């Protein structure tokens, strides 16, 4: 997973409007979560990242799928969750995250899903810290309904390490 994730993060960095973007560097692993640091121009972005433990349906190509929580050293964002699918997302129905009985709708943009309101981002990250598993459902642009189960083991330590790396 590390090599694939590095290429995904490098592609994300290359898409940003900056002149020089370095390859992301993995700095820690905490159970099912990884921490990466990426220097982009004059800023540093630190990511806590995980891939799903289960993907369904099993008979389709999902591509690379990740849940990320990003913090910018500049303070532009702190613990900002996002979902990255290996395919373009359909916006309707909205991608949805569930942790226990709590739920969040994401807005889709290309192959990514984001929480729209900062207060909801905070609520999601707090639930991730308390939870054991997170379920995410999304629909591909072609209309295929997909579901992912992410382990939350290690997320708290990964978030703390990402935050300290971006101070």
pLDDT tens-place values along the chain, 167 residues long: 444 444 445 445 444 444 455 789 999 999 999 999 999 889 999 999 999 999 999 999 999 999 999 999 999 999 999 999 999 999 889 999 999 999 999 999 999 999 999 999 999 999 999 999 999 999 999 999 999 999 999 999 999 999 999 98
- Please report the pLDDT score of residue 2 as a whole number: 45
- Please report the pLDDT score of residue 21 as a whole number: 57
- Please report the pLDDT score of residue 23 as a whole number: 84
Mode of pairing for the β-strands spanning 112-114 and 102-105: unpaired
Write down the pTM of the prediction.
0.87
Closest CA to 68 of 53, 56, 84: 84
- Please report the pLDDT score of residue 50 as a whole number: 98
What CATH class does 2-165 carry? mainly beta
d(CA 2, CA 37) in angstroms, rounded, equals: 13
Residue 49 · residue 37 · CB < 8 Å: no
Residue 142 · residue 112 · CB < 8 Å: no
- Please report the pLDDT score of residue 30 as a whole number: 98
- Please report the pLDDT score of residue 158 as a whole number: 98
3-state secondary structure the chain: CHHHHHHHHHHHHHHCCCCCECCCEEEEEECCEEEEEEEECCEEEEEEEECCCEEECCCCCCCCCEEEEEEECCCCCCCEEEEECCCCECCCCCCEEEECCEEEECEEECCEEECCCHHHHHHHHHHHHHCCEEEEEEEECCCCEEEEEEECCCHHHHHHHHHHHCC
In sign, the C-alpha dihedral spanning 78, 79, 82, 84 is positive
Write down the domain spans for the chain. 2-165
């Amino acid at each position: 997973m590390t090599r694939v994730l590095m290429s995904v993060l490098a592609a994300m960095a290359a898409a940003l409007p900056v002149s020089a973007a370095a390859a992301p560097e993995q700095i820690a692993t905490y159970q099912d979560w990884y921490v990466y640091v990426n220097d982009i121009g004059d800023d540093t972005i630190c990511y806590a990242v995980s891939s799903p433990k289960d993907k369904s349906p099993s008979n389709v190509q999902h591509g690379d799928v990740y849940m990320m929580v990003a913090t910018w050293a500049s303070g532009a964002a702190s613990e900002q969750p996002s979902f990255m699918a290996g395919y373009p997302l359909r916006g309707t129905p909205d991608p949805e995250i569930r942790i226990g009985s709590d739920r969040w709708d994401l807005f889709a943009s290309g192959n990514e899903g984001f929480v729209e309101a900062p207060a909801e981002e905070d609520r999601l990250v707090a639930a991730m810290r308390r939870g054991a598993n997170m379920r995410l459902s999304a629909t591909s642009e072609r209309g295929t309904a997909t579901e992912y189960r992410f382990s939350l083991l290690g997320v708290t330590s990964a978030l703390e390490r990402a935050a300290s790396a971006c101070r």
